[in-house]
Amino acid sequence: MKRIFVGLSVVVGTLVMGLTNASASTICSDDPVLPIGTPLHYSITVKVPLTTTVVYAYGTHKTTTFGFVLGI
């Protein structure tokens, strides 16, 4: 009975660790850089609650970078 309990505990612990790591994974991302700038320097980052999804845009007088990282 003790062996069954220990084995079940190891299996459940491993399953919980696997689900925890999978919840922070990146599904898709994109990061294009355009050689078009604006007179203003800006940085905008929006994080979606309860996920690891981030949408962002950065700009200088020479380049504009925008993109997203989609996670679960």
Give kind and range of the element (H or E) at residue 11: helix 2-22
User: By CB neighbour count within 10 A (0-12 exposed, 13-18 middle, 19+ buried), where does 9 fall?
Assistant: exposed
Would you write out the chain's pLDDT as a tens digit for each of its 72 residues? 778 877 777 777 776 666 555 545 556 667 778 888 888 898 999 988 877 788 888 888 888 888 888 766
CB hemisphere CA count around 54 (13 angstroms): 13
Every domain of the chain and the residues it spans: 2-71
